[in-house]
């Protein structure tokens, strides 16, 4: 079984980070056929990435993997 070493001088083309964006719009009408009307629409996005991380395989060796994900979330309600 190999052992993973930690050394100085690591560099990668991807820095770990999270970017979040949100847009929100609200509307209120106080007398909509005798009722209060509230409308809301929104859109959120989150994009995150991480540094490579060592994982052991079934043979006792290690491989490195990283991830990047993009999560959009649009919606509305009344």
Answer whether residue 6 is part of any domain.
Answer: no
Answer whether residue 4 is part of any domain.
Answer: no
Higher pLDDT, 22 or 52: 22
- Which residue range forms the structural domain that includes residue 46? 17-77
pLDDT at 66 over 80: no
52-73 core/surface letters (b: 16 or more CB in 10 A; e: else):
eeeeeeeeeeeeeeeeeeeeee
Answer whether residue 54 is part of any domain.
Answer: yes
Q: How many domains does the chain have?
A: 1
The rounded mean pLDDT for the chain is 83
Answer whether residue 62 is part of any domain.
Answer: yes
| pTM (whole model) above 0.75 | no
């Amino acid at each position: 079984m190999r052992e993973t070493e930690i050394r100085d001088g690591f560099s990668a083309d991807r820095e770990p980070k999270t970017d979040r964006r949100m847009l929100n719009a609200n509307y209120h009408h106080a007398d909509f056929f005798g009722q209060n009307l509230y409308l809301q629409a929104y859109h959120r996005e989150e994009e995150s990435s991480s540094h490579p991380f060592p994982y052991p395989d079934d043979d006792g060796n290690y491989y490195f993997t990283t991830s990047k994900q993009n999560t959009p979330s649009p919606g509305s309600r009344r």
